Chain A
């Protein structure tokens, strides 16, 4: 009996080629996607570069050397040339707050010594550590180079005396001096997160919300295929209702459910995790409504593309998890290479997450959401039209 069950299960799998393909294709697809994201396979040589701006408030020889050294760092990408346009501290901080830059490096004088303030966006927890190390190293190297040049310029005797005194000192005191020097030289200041919930919470709330909007939408699309399979669609189309009305009705329903679903989740996030929903209600509603409309249209498109619910399930799992991985619902996009970050812009998730980040983290005015709302709305309309075109075959076959 057990052998027979095993046999018929294997035979059924072999007869269902799509299911057979998906059984082996899905794990390979996901392994490849995550290998690309974390292993740098596709983005080799284009490791994530941190977007920075720098302000030199000292304008000394050493600070200029530091600026030059930073500009040559491969891990940094200067979004604006501070030397060319005379960037000010406030402008730099604003660039961080608006999301144009991840960090602003401000070179200033402290106790007659060169120091740096790193104006950071705490949502990127990796960038602060990387930039801090890079700036520290650049300052120390530049100072050392400057001192060497001073020595060669003539005041050799006095410096030799200083070095000699330093060499004869207590090693523990010396180490303490280096640590103190490092702490003094580079200070990280969070310009975004004061008084806010953990940025990771709002980011993941958005990420999970978008992913489930997509899953919910394909589930709703599956209902359309179910109606087709049990001839309810034929019956509906034999009434006064047109395919246009049917698709629009389903689109509005799926979008409404999506808005409610995300709304309930963010209420929970406010109650339990202190995400400030009520304070950002306008931006939240705009993003959620448009994202839900786009996701629902995508679900209908997939449903009209597929011939059966089995096909839809397989295809939607692959697409949604891939989009979620690339678009930042699973891991932050700033961890990905520049190339993958660009690929991510082809997903709903990336645009929606950028929008939610503007709302909850950067607290930008709602008009700043125009690019995200525009892209999501246009893609929603395009998918809906594509679904309508594909559904023509159900009307006349």
Chain B
């Protein structure tokens, strides 16, 4: 039997790009499988947009290789296989939904029946069938985002590149947009999106790549990233009924663990096994004569991973 991994839909190897003295990409390498949803994260100026522009054929990399389904990247072929949705609402506001979709369908090479079929699909997919003949400029931000997205997939690309597709939209529209993306993913479209919404990336992607200062600093599922960076321990916070008179010690031995600081009304600690260790901790605190006012258990999240890997320093 052949257990080799399938050829990735997109493979990037040692991609480098500089603008004068600024090294935007310093050797980026990663892959994207067919139907995979990959969230591409990084602080401002990390090189995300440069990478997206390289993949969309809008910028030539100085060095490195890009493969589409195992074949070397050629700009002309890539345009047929890749869909690009920019961060801005890149639509003609003074055209209707139908006219915008039709225009971008034509720009992608669709004609006659193929164009009509995709137009009908796009209107249904975006839920804008009843607004097909309304000017896009009069739409809400969320509706414009949906049309913006649809214009990038009229030609049924194998890979969809999205640069912050949900920026500035309400939670309902965001939910709708991710439902649309899930539908695309289910049909085999590989999705690479950049975002600053870490919760989105955590919940709506199969894999996460974190880019910092032009380099990939993490690549994997959320569980893998947590394990590789901050670890799997849960953060437990106990709020007590009065300030501690002294730290609480777990035993009499000198090396026994101690919890809390004198004068604080909260005890924080990290534990491996919540079901076994948390009751013991609560019991210990009670035995020392303190009442428990509140308990919080916090699992390590992408937020912690991101800050752990990229630091707290502002980047812009």
- A: residues with CB less than 8 A from B are 230-232, 234-241, 395-397
- Bound: A395/B84 CA distance, A: 15
Assuming A238-B57, A240-B108, is B87 touching A231 (CB within 8 A)? Answer: yes
Q: Are A235 and B79 in touch, CB under 8 angstroms?
A: no
- Bound: A236/B88 CA distance, A: 13
19 A–B contacts, CB within 8 A, in A order: A230-B89, A231-B87, A232-B88, A232-B91, A232-B92, A234-B53, A234-B86, A235-B84, A235-B86, A235-B104, A238-B56, A238-B84, A239-B104, A239-B107, A239-B108, A240-B80, A240-B107, A240-B108, A396-B60
Among B69-94, those with CB < 8 Å from A are 76, 79-80, 82, 84-92
In the complex, which residues of chain B have a beta carbon less than 8 angstroms from the beta carbon of A238? 56-58, 79, 82, 84
B35 at the interface (CB under 8 A from A): no
Tell me the smallest distance from the CB of A226 to a CB of chain B, in Å: 10
Q: Are A232 and B107 in touch, CB under 8 angstroms?
A: no
B18 at the interface (CB under 8 A from A): no
- Kindly list the 3 A-B residue pairs having the minimum CB-CB distance in the complex, ordered from nearest: A239-B107, A231-B86, A238-B84
Assuming A240-B108, A240-B109, is B92 touching A234 (CB within 8 A)? Answer: no
Q: Are A232 and B60 in touch, CB under 8 angstroms?
A: no
Tell me the smallest distance from the CB of A239 to a CB of chain B, in Å: 4
Q: Are B60 and A235 in touch, CB under 8 angstroms?
A: no
Measured CB to CB, the nearest residue on chain A to B84 is A238
Q: Are A234 and B90 in touch, CB under 8 angstroms?
A: yes
Assuming A240-B107, A396-B59, A397-B59, is B151 touching A235 (CB within 8 A)? Answer: yes
Assuming A240-B79, A241-B107, is B152 touching A235 (CB within 8 A)? Answer: yes
- Bound: A241/B58 CA distance, A: 12
Q: How large is the interface on B (under 10, 10 to 19, 20 to 34, 35 or more residues)?
A: 20 to 34
In the complex, which residues of chain A have a beta carbon less than 8 angstroms from the beta carbon of B79? 238-240
Tell me the smallest distance from the CB of B59 to a CB of chain A, in Å: 6
Tell me the smallest distance from the CB of B104 to a CB of chain A, in Å: 7
Among B51-67, those with CB < 8 Å from A are 53, 56-60
Q: Are B59 and A232 in touch, CB under 8 angstroms?
A: no
How many A-B residue pairs have C-beta atoms within 8 angstroms? Tell me: 50
Measured CB to CB, the nearest residue on chain B to A240 is B109
In the complex, which residues of chain A have a beta carbon less than 8 angstroms from the beta carbon of B109? 239-240
In the complex, which residues of chain B have a beta carbon less than 8 angstroms from the beta carbon of A239? 79, 104, 107-109, 155
Interface centre among A231, A235, A396, A397 (most CB of B within 10 A): A235
- Bound: A395/B56 CA distance, A: 11
Tell me the smallest distance from the CB of B260 to a CB of chain A, in Å: 51
Tell me the smallest distance from the CB of B167 to a CB of chain A, in Å: 13
- Bound: A234/B84 CA distance, A: 9
- Bound: A239/B100 CA distance, A: 14
In the complex, which residues of chain B have a beta carbon less than 8 angstroms from the beta carbon of A232? 88, 90-92
- Bound: A236/B155 CA distance, A: 13
Q: Are A234 and B58 in touch, CB under 8 angstroms?
A: yes
- Bound: A206/B179 CA distance, A: 58
In the complex, which residues of chain B have a beta carbon less than 8 angstroms from the beta carbon of A235? 84-86, 90, 104, 151-152
Measured CB to CB, the nearest residue on chain A to B79 is A240
Tell me the smallest distance from the CB of A44 to a CB of chain B, in Å: 49
- Bound: A234/B89 CA distance, A: 12
Q: Are A230 and B90 in touch, CB under 8 angstroms?
A: yes
- Bound: A71/B58 CA distance, A: 67
In the complex, which residues of chain A have a beta carbon less than 8 angstroms from the beta carbon of B90? 230-232, 234-235
Q: Which of A231, A240, A397 contacts B88 (CB 8 A)?
A: A231
In the complex, which residues of chain B have a beta carbon less than 8 angstroms from the beta carbon of A237? 57-58
* Extra pairs beyond A235-B152, A395-B58 (15, CB < 8 Å): A231-B90, A234-B56, A234-B86, A234-B90, A235-B84, A235-B90, A235-B104, A237-B58, A239-B109, A239-B155, A240-B76, A240-B109, A241-B107, A396-B60, A397-B59
Q: Are A230 and B88 in touch, CB under 8 angstroms?
A: yes
Measured CB to CB, the nearest residue on chain A to B155 is A239
In the complex, which residues of chain B have a beta carbon less than 8 angstroms from the beta carbon of A236? 107
Measured CB to CB, the nearest residue on chain B to A246 is B107
In the complex, which residues of chain A have a beta carbon less than 8 angstroms from the beta carbon of B88? 230-232
- Bound: A269/B244 CA distance, A: 95
In the complex, which residues of chain A have a beta carbon less than 8 angstroms from the beta carbon of B85? 235
Tell me the smallest distance from the CB of B132 to a CB of chain A, in Å: 20
Among B142-199, those with CB < 8 Å from A are 151-152, 155
Tell me the smallest distance from the CB of B235 to a CB of chain A, in Å: 41
- Bound: A240/B85 CA distance, A: 15
In the complex, which residues of chain A have a beta carbon less than 8 angstroms from the beta carbon of B60? 396
- Bound: A18/B234 CA distance, A: 56
- Bound: A237/B82 CA distance, A: 12
- Bound: A22/B149 CA distance, A: 40
